[in-house]
């Protein structure tokens, strides 16, 4: 993102055990699950999406079965990015805790902006446009959201004990977060303040509400881009590999 005059660091959360993807994740790190007709790892699609938007400095926050990731991607040179690995240690847990642990190691000392990408999310979102909105707004954080969310189960309309209607997997009118967030340095400072006395911290569940409560500006980047949460065996089985090929042909 040199055109924006900012040093943007891509951060991929790639250390989870992927319990909802078992038994597959007994053998795979969840971000190494093969997708598309060429069966390339999910993480490869994420890294090439970052590269497409000129985010070439990438920190991978790893843990469970991280050796698979290192063996496949090495230093990132053959994918056109520079990868640095950080193995999660026994400190503060959760996505926010892992991010804070890495920040305390000096990983982001020269950064202007962090683009945090959850490692089980597949999307062709326009990251450049999202970063532009974040920088122009001067916000502490910018969340990628999509309008409308399909409930994964049927919903009953009930009066007393009588079912008066049924809607199969309805779409509800909300803005759903898609697991991609841009953070400014002030957000990391807030994470440090928030960590006092905590054993676990979540970026979405703890940091974002804290920023809002503190009066910091939090932006919503509204997108209609494709996104898919490959977080369970059911979702993985339903992923259309031909659609993956089409959307990520770059």
CA distance 226 to 123: 5
Exposed / middle / buried, residue 149 (Cβ in 10 Å: 0-12, 13-18, 19+): middle
Q: How many domains does the chain have?
A: 1
Non-local (6+) Cβ contacts of 246 within 8 A are none
- Within a domain: residue 26? yes
CA distance 71 to 169: 40
CATH of the domain at 82: 3.90.550.10
- Within a domain: residue 155? no
- Within a domain: residue 139? yes
The pTM score is 0.83
Q: How sure is the predictor about 235, in pLDDT bands with cuts at 50, 70 and 90?
A: confident
Tally the C-alpha atoms within 13 A of residue 62's C-alpha that lie toward its C-beta.
Answer: 21
**Domain housing 127:** 2-146+173-247
Exposed / middle / buried, residue 122 (Cβ in 10 Å: 0-12, 13-18, 19+): buried
- Within a domain: residue 16? yes
- Within a domain: residue 167? no
- Note the pLDDT of residue 90: 58
Using one digit for the tens of pLDDT, what is the confidence trace for 155-194?
888 988 788 888 888 777 778 888 899 998 888 888 888 8
- Within a domain: residue 140? yes
**Does the pLDDT at position 2 exceed 70?**
no
Structure tokens belonging to residue 49: 């999406």
**Does the pLDDT at position 8 exceed 80?**
yes
Q: How sure is the predictor about 92, in pLDDT bands with cuts at 50, 70 and 90?
A: confident
- Within a domain: residue 178? yes
For residue 159, give the H/E element and its range.
strand 155-159
- Within a domain: residue 195? yes
Q: How sure is the predictor about 230, in pLDDT bands with cuts at 50, 70 and 90?
A: confident
Write down the mean pLDDT value for the chain.
Answer: 84
Highest mean pLDDT among 94-108, 181-195, 209-223: 209-223
CA distance 78 to 141: 31
Using one digit for the tens of pLDDT, what is the confidence trace for 32-65?
888 877 888 889 989 988 998 989 989 999 888 8
């Amino acid at each position: 993102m040199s055109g924006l005059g900012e040093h943007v660091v891509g951060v991929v959360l790639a250390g989870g055990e992927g319990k909802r993807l078992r038994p597959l994740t007994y053998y795979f790190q969840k971000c190494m699950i093969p997708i598309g007709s060429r069966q390339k790892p999910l993480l490869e699609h994420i890294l090439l999406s970052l590269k497409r938007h000129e985010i070439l400095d990438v920190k991978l926050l790893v843990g469970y079965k991280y050796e698979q990731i290192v063996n496949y991607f090495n230093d990132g040179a053959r994918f056109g990015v520079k990868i640095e690995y950080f193995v999660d240690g026994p400190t503060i847990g959760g996505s926010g805790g892992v991010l804070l642990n890495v920040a305390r190691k000096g990983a982001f000392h020269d950064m202007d902006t962090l683009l945090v990408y959850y490692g089980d999310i597949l999307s062709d979102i326009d990251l450049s446009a999202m970063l532009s909105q974040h920088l122009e707004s001067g916000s502490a954080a910018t969340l990628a959201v999509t309008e409308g969310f399909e409930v994964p189960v049927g919903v009953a309309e009930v009066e007393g004990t009588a079912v008066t209607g049924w809607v199969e997997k309805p779409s509800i009118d909300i803005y759903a977060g898609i697991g991609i967030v841009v953070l400014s340095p002030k957000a990391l400072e807030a994470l440090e303040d928030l960590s006092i006395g905590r054993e676990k911290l979540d970026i979405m569940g703890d940091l974002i509400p804290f920023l809002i409560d503190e009066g910091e500006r939090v932006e919503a980047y509204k997108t209609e881009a494709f996104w898919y949460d490959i977080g369970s065996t059911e979702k993985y089985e339903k992923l259309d590999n031909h659609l993956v090929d089409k959307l990520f042909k770059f």
